[in-house]
């Protein structure tokens, strides 16, 4: 412990800031290789190729309305009382190519999306003609009355208005949302090259753990970490591979770790707090290199990170989360999520963060960054944060009540009621900016 000149509190200088820990972790994480996927299956993944259009979209000048393609000059002086009567020489539907040429005094009946016939320079929607009256009186529509003047180019959508042939439409690195999936479909893509999703092996450790479904035993607890972590992995785009539970002995740990080497990353929980970790350290030393860190945060101060050597020569990053269920989830949000997003090729690794007014104080008694479980509501356009109650890191139901993590910075002794704090929104998967 070192006395800090600028602070009346104490903290261990060997502690890493959240940012330092994250930076070290990310320096061992690389973007995964691309894969070809059916378009629909690629939602949420990152485009691994530039998408260049082979075509103009729309391919031809076409009609924005159902109506009549004419020469604007043919409707000069037209009004409802004195419509311009034009001879209808044909019709054209969407997907067809027009055969007729529009000349002064003629019109071609046209549907939305149909190409503009040669000679025409405007479209008059049905509503601006006397078509209904003519129909009602049994007219075969060999002629049509245009009831308004029209500007050249009216209701014509130009070829290439959306996309030009040869244009770079979506750049490599873009995250595919429904609109990008639609754009790729409009370019004719059936499959698309995207960065593949990381497989994350997930391992719990502890002699006290039962699997959900096992018969309840005195003194035992159900393994919740594997399930909260695996569902977080799913939510953020990874593919979880649950390895179950390693017992607190060398053989069990060794066997499970070997299984984990097939993944892109291994996430374990527990066994990183003082007194516990010597065994884990010994085991991991046989497979690679591991560091135990103290991170300047609450909860989730103890954290392990290392690199394991897979038999195929790959280096598999290993993130060791603390065992307490809230600590495991909060540490996953800070470090695991960013690692997954980096592997997926995403550029924005930040957790979505808003400003909120505190309705409860957050205390910080030992100079760590406090992530307080909070319930965020919007009142009269302002976000408010109240805490879920007791902030002990074993209370998993308090995490279930929270929709945000309200932050008290490490260098402040408290954030009081009425003060504005940053809040990481737990249910907002992407930062909007």
- Give the interface with Mg ion as residue ranges (CB under 5 A): 206, 270
Closer residue to ligand AMP (CB): 221 or 255:
221
**206 near ligand AMP, rule: CB under 6 A:** yes
Let me know how long the chain is.
433
User: Do residues 171 and 47 touch, judged by C-beta distance below 8 A?
Assistant: yes
Residue 359 binding result from ligand AMP, Mg ion, none, given CB thresholds of 5 to 8 Å by partner type: none
> 51, 102, 270, 339: which one contacts ligand AMP (CB under 6 A)?
270
Minimum CB–partner distance for residue 394 and Mg ion (Å) = 13
**400 near ligand AMP, rule: CB under 6 A:** no
Closer residue to Mg ion (CB): 175 or 270:
270
User: Strands 315-321, 302-309: parallel, antiparallel or unpaired by DSSP?
Assistant: antiparallel
Measure the CA–CA gap between 19 and 405, rounded to whole angstroms: 17
Minimum CB–partner distance for residue 322 and ligand AMP (Å) = 6
Draw the binding track, 225-244, toward ligand AMP (x: CB under 6 A; -: no contact): xx------------------
Closer residue to ligand AMP (CB): 34 or 323:
323
User: Do residues 410 and 301 touch, judged by C-beta distance below 8 A?
Assistant: no
Considering only CA atoms, which of 115, 112, 102, 114 is closest in space to residue 144? 102
CA atoms within 13 A on the CB side of 97: 2
Residue 324 binding result from ligand AMP, Mg ion, none, given CB thresholds of 5 to 8 Å by partner type: ligand AMP
185 alpha carbon, distance to own chain's centre: 20
Of 81-89, 186-194, 252-260, 319-327, which part binds ligand AMP (CB under 6 A)? 319-327
Draw the binding track, 321-340, toward ligand AMP (x: CB under 6 A; -: no contact): -xxxx---------------
Minimum CB–partner distance for residue 19 and ligand AMP (Å) = 24
Residue environment code for 91-104, b if the CB has 16+ CB neighbours within 10 A, otherwise e: bbeeeeebebebee
Minimum CB–partner distance for residue 11 and ligand AMP (Å) = 21
> 273, 315, 377, 403: which one contacts ligand AMP (CB under 6 A)?
273
Residue 101 gets which letter from DSSP?
Answer: B
**254 near ligand AMP, rule: CB under 6 A:** no
Query: 295 - beta bridge partners?
Result: 16
Of 25-33, 211-219, 231-239, 269-277, which part binds ligand AMP (CB under 6 A)? 269-277
Minimum CB–partner distance for residue 270 and Mg ion (Å) = 4
End-to-end CA distance of the chain: 38
Considering only CA atoms, which of 155, 150, 139 is closest in space to residue 88? 139
Minimum CB–partner distance for residue 207 and Mg ion (Å) = 7
Helices 250-260 and 277-287 pack at an angle, to 10 degrees, of 50
User: Do residues 180 and 47 touch, judged by C-beta distance below 8 A?
Assistant: yes
**209 near ligand AMP, rule: CB under 6 A:** yes
Task: With CB under 6 A as the rule, give the number of residues binding ligand AMP.
Answer: 19
Measure the CA–CA gap between 283 and 176, rounded to whole angstroms: 40
In the chain, % helix, strand, coil (3-state, to 5) comes to 20, 35, 45
Residue 269 binding result from Mg ion, ligand AMP, none, given CB thresholds of 5 to 8 Å by partner type: ligand AMP
Closer residue to ligand AMP (CB): 201 or 358:
201
Measure the CA–CA gap between 292 and 16, rounded to whole angstroms: 11
Dihedral of CA atoms 390, 394, 399, 404 in degrees, nearest 10, equals 70
CA atoms within 13 A on the CB side of 49: 14
User: Do residues 404 and 385 touch, judged by C-beta distance below 8 A?
Assistant: yes
Distances (CA, A) of 342 to 17, 18, 25, 49, 174: 20, 17, 11, 17, 13
**208 near ligand AMP, rule: CB under 6 A:** yes
Minimum CB–partner distance for residue 303 and ligand AMP (Å) = 11
**268 near ligand AMP, rule: CB under 6 A:** no
Element (H, E) at 265: strand 265-269
> 106, 269, 334, 424: which one contacts ligand AMP (CB under 6 A)?
269
Residue 223 binding result from Mg ion, ligand AMP, none, given CB thresholds of 5 to 8 Å by partner type: ligand AMP
Minimum CB–partner distance for residue 40 and ligand AMP (Å) = 35
Minimum CB–partner distance for residue 432 and ligand AMP (Å) = 33
Minimum CB–partner distance for residue 428 and ligand AMP (Å) = 26
> 40, 185, 221, 414: which one contacts ligand AMP (CB under 6 A)?
221
> 32, 184, 204, 426: which one contacts ligand AMP (CB under 6 A)?
204
Residues found near ligand AMP in the complex (CB under 6 A) = 204, 206, 208-209, 221, 223-226, 269-273, 276, 322-325
């Amino acid at each position: 412990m070192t006395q800090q000149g600028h602070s009346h509190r104490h903290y261990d200088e060997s502690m890493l800031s959240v940012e330092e820990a994250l930076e070290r972790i990310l320096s061992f994480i690389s973007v995964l290789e691309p894969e070809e996927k059916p378009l629909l299956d690629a939602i949420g993944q990152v485009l691994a190729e530039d998408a260049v259009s082979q075509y103009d979209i729309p391919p031809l000048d076409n009609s924005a309305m159902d109506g009549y393609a004419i020469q604007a000059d043919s409707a000069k002086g037209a009004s409802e009382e004195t419509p311009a009567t034009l001879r209808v020489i044909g019709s054209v539907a969407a997907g067809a190519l027009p055969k007729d040429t529009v000349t002064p005094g003629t019109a071609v009946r046209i549907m939305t999306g149909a190409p503009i016939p040669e000679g025409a320079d405007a479209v008059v929607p049905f509503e601006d003609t006397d078509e209904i009256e003519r129909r009602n009186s049994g007219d075969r529509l060999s002629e049509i009355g245009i009831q308004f003047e029209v500007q050249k180019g009216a209701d014509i959508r130009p070829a290439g208005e959306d996309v030009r042939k040869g244009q770079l439409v979506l750049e490599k690195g873009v995250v595919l949302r429904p609109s990008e999936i639609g754009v790729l479909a409009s370019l004719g893509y059936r499959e698309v090259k995207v960065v593949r999703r990381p497989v994350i092996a997930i391992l719990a450790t502890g002699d006290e753990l039962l699997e959900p479904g096992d018969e309840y035993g005195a003194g035992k607890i159900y393994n919740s970490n594997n399930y909260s972590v695996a569902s977080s992995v799913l939510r953020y785009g990874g593919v979880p591979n649950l390895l179950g539970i390693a017992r607190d002995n060398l053989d069990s740990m060794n066997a499970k770790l070997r299984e984990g080497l097939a993944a892109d990353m291994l996430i374990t929980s527990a066994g990183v707090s003082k007194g516990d970790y010597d065994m884990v350290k010994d085991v991991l030393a046989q497979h690679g290199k591991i560091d135990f860190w103290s991170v300047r945060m609450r909860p989730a101060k103890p954290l392990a990170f290392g690199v394991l050597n897979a038999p195929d020569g790959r280096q598999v990053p290993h993130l060791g989360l603390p065992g307490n269920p809230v600590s495991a989830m909060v540490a996953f949000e800070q470090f695991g999520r960013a690692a997954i997003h980096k592997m997926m090729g995403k550029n924005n690794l930040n957790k979505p963060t808003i400003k909120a007014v505190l309705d409860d104080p957050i205390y910080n008694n030992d100079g760590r960054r406090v992530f307080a479980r909070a319930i965020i509501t919007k009142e009269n356009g302002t976000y408010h944060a109240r805490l879920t109650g007791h902030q002990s890191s074993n209370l998993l139901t308090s995490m279930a009540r929270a929709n945000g993590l309200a932050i008290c910075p490490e260098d402040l002794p408290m954030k009081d009621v009425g003060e504005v704090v940053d809040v990481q929104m737990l249910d907002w998967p992407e930062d909007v900016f």
